Structure 1
Amino acid sequence: MALATLATVIWSGNFIIADAMARSIPPVQLAFWRWVIALCAVAPFGVRHLRREWAVVRAHWKFLSCAALLGVTLFNTLIYTAGRTSPATNMALLAAASPLVITLGARLVWKEAMGPRRWAGAALSLVGIVVLITRGSLTTLLDLHFSSGDLWMVAAMTTFALYSLMLKRKPAGLSGLSLLLATFGLGTAFLAPAYAWSLTTQGGFPVHVTTVSALLYVGVLSSAVAYFCWNKAIATVGVGRASVIYYLEPAVVALLAYLTLGEPINTPQLASMALIVIGVALSS
């Protein structure tokens, strides 16, 4: 569970980066360079494993291609696209539904047990997330308006749920590093045509300390480190239990926004964070 928590904390920082870079780097280009950097970060550690397990990789190329398409090519590209038109509140609310979708999928597809305590914990976490995002204001919740960008976020959460469910059937004999290197490589290749189109129609982006730092964060931490931790967590405790930790993400995002961007946190939000933590503890 510690690995799932670490992945969630790192991905929370990714939302801050996505918001900060929404107007600086086109979504497809941000996603493409993220995975190029991730590929370079993993390659020195994974090449030896990939060579040793090449027969397994070739035998399961369909599985790896599908995982790469969902978890690498589409997921974050859709989030970055949603971030340009969808309000942060809407994105956070829609992201909060992802663990529930994964948990239901694990129950229906993989027959993972879901006891009353896990359902109660999930419900408590969801309540906490709604209070956190709306700052305890019923008016804010009732005044929510959904835009076309929210459909991109729904698509992103769906691809992440499918990717997580797929990991339950990771081919035997395929190490975590080989899985990362293969999916990162394939996912980047799938993104290349869209990157070429974006570069041609939208132009490049300014290269300076801020953009390079953002790319290094999302490439090394949010991709190489976080994906390794998430994949390992699912292999260790199951997709249902690991996904519950994802409920922590809105609380961590709020804390990071407070620490880095100076966004205020009120008393209802602090109480909601406690609800989220208690709910995750019950569920996991």
Structure 2
Amino acid sequence: MTRIYLKLVGSAVLWGGTWVAGRILGTYMGPFSAAFLRFALASVFLYVLTARMEGRAPKLARQDLPWLLLLAATGIFAYNALFFAGLRTVPAGRAALIVACIPSVVALFSGLCFKEAFPLPRIAGIALSFAGVGLIVSGGDPAALTTGGLSAGDLCIFGCVASWAAYTLAGKKAMERIAPYSAVTWSCILGAAMLLPPALAMGLWRDVAAAGPVAWGCIAFFGILATGFGFSWYYEGVRAIGPTKAGVFINLVPVVAVSLGWLILDEPLSKALALGGGLVLSGVWLTNRRAATQTR
């Protein structure tokens, strides 16, 4: 079990770095080009890795195709198109702290969809997480949301929350019949195929021709480390300890993202960001504390 926990920590740390890499890559190419190149590279890497880990090439059974298409549509196509689009205007740390409420969203829908326990501490934790997100997006003035509303970038990041929650919950059901590496590999391949048409329509070849060493370095980080290893390790955790407990490890993502955003991108650390982030993470802890205690 220690090995599973270490892999979940590793995936969270790698994903924390994606927020900074996404901000950098967004200055070199459009969101669909970036997302397609990420998963085109990841698909090749994962196909070879899966063949090595499972002793055979990943199989695509016809009866598993609906689940794999759902994973590809939510966790690959939707999440990454929204991820790169949002990061063009939203600071890495701010975006990562909004996405930090994913475990609370997963817990909410796990209770509704899978009839998991839904006690009062979990309800309070979810409410606390959402309050923290409200503080972050309002810049410390929640009343401003009623007048200025949310920016297009913020809406994209909220879309990331919804799509990743759906991806995690669908993954729990998919893991009942598909090995983790095969599921991730085929969802990446299918997701890359979904991303290709809009990428071509929005200037993929132009972006490829203009990309320099920094852009290709970010794509390599996304495709091999953050996607190849990060996704595989995360799904091993989902299968071993369930989506709610595995989702707790995502709490490390915003910590890494905020730290790297401050160190590398010189992003400010405001009081509203710190307080809102604290509320989000405290709410996530409260949401999952009871479930973790009951499983020990």
TM-score interval, normalised by the smaller of the two chains: 0.7 to 0.9
Q: TM-score, normalised by structure 2?
A: 0.78
The reply to whether residue 73 of structure 1 matches residue 93 of structure 2 is: no
State the 1:147 CA deviation. Answer: 2.0
Does the C-alpha gap of structure 1 residues 50 and 139 become closer, same or farther in structure 2, counting only changes over 3 Å?
farther
Residue in structure 2 matching 1:254, options 242, 253, 258: 258
1:153 and 2:147 correspond: no
Is the 1:126–1:247 Cα contact (8 Å) retained in structure 2? no
**Which secondary structure state, in structure 2, belongs to the residue aligned with residue 60 of structure 1?**
helix
Tell me the CA shift for residue 268 of structure 1.
8.1
Gaps of 5+ in 2: 290-296
Structure 1, gaps ≥5 residues long: none
Residue 76 of structure 1: how far off its partner (Å): 1.0
* Aligned mates of 2:55, 2:115 — CA distance in 1: 31
* CA offset digits 1:78-100 (Å, max 9, x no partner): 11112234566763464244322
Read off the aligned partner of 1:194 and give its amino acid letter.
Answer: P
Q: Indicate whether 1:243 and 2:243 are aligned.
A: no
The alignment partner of 1:36 has SS state of helix
- My pick for the range that moved more, 168-177 or 157-166, is 168-177
- Distance change (3 Å), C-alpha of 1:278 and 1:65: closer
**Partner AA of 2:103 in structure 1:** P
Q: Distance in 2 between matches of 1:76 and 1:231?
A: 18
- What is aligned with 1:3? 7
Question: Which residue number in structure 2 is paired with residue 13 of structure 1?
Answer: 17
Residue 223 of structure 1: CA displacement? 0.9
- Distance between the aligned counterparts of 1:172 and 1:157, measured in 2? 24
Q: State whether residues 5 and 245 of structure 1, in contact with CA within 8 Å, keep that contact through their aligned partners in structure 2.
A: yes
Contact 2:93 2:257 in 1 (8 A): no
Letter paired with 2:82: L
Q: Work out whether 1:112 is the aligned partner of 2:116.
A: yes
1:58 corresponds in structure 2 to 62
Per-residue Cα deviation, 1:6-46 (whole angstroms, up to 9, x for no partner): 32222121111111222211111100110011112212221
Give the 3-state SS of the residue equivalent to 2:165 in structure 1. Answer: helix
Alignment deviations for residues 197-252 of structure 1 (CA, whole Å, 9 cap, x no partner): 12279654523221111111111122111111221121122112222333443332
1:46 to 28, 40, 50: 50
Q: What's the CA shift for 1:108?
A: 0.5
* TM-score under structure 1 length normalisation: 0.81
Query: How far apart in 2 are the matches of 1:130 and 1:85?
Result: 18
Question: Percent same amino acid among aligned pairs?
Answer: 25
| Alignment map for 1:1-284 (pairs within 5 Å) | 1-47=5-51, 49=54, 51=56, 54=59, 57-86=61-90, 91-92=95-96, 94-119=98-123, 145-199=149-203, 204=208, 206-265=210-269, 282=286, 283-284=288-289
1:4 touches 1:233 (CA, 8 Å); kept in 2?
yes
C-alpha separation in 2, matches of 1:150 and 1:272: 15
Distance of aligned partners of 1:277 and 1:3 in 2 relative to their CA distance in 1, 3 Å threshold: farther
Which stretch shifts more, 114-123 or 203-212? 114-123
Letter in 2 for 1:79: F
For residues 61 and 107 of structure 2, what CA distance do their matches in structure 1 show?
28
The Cα of 1:104 is off from its aligned counterpart by 0.6
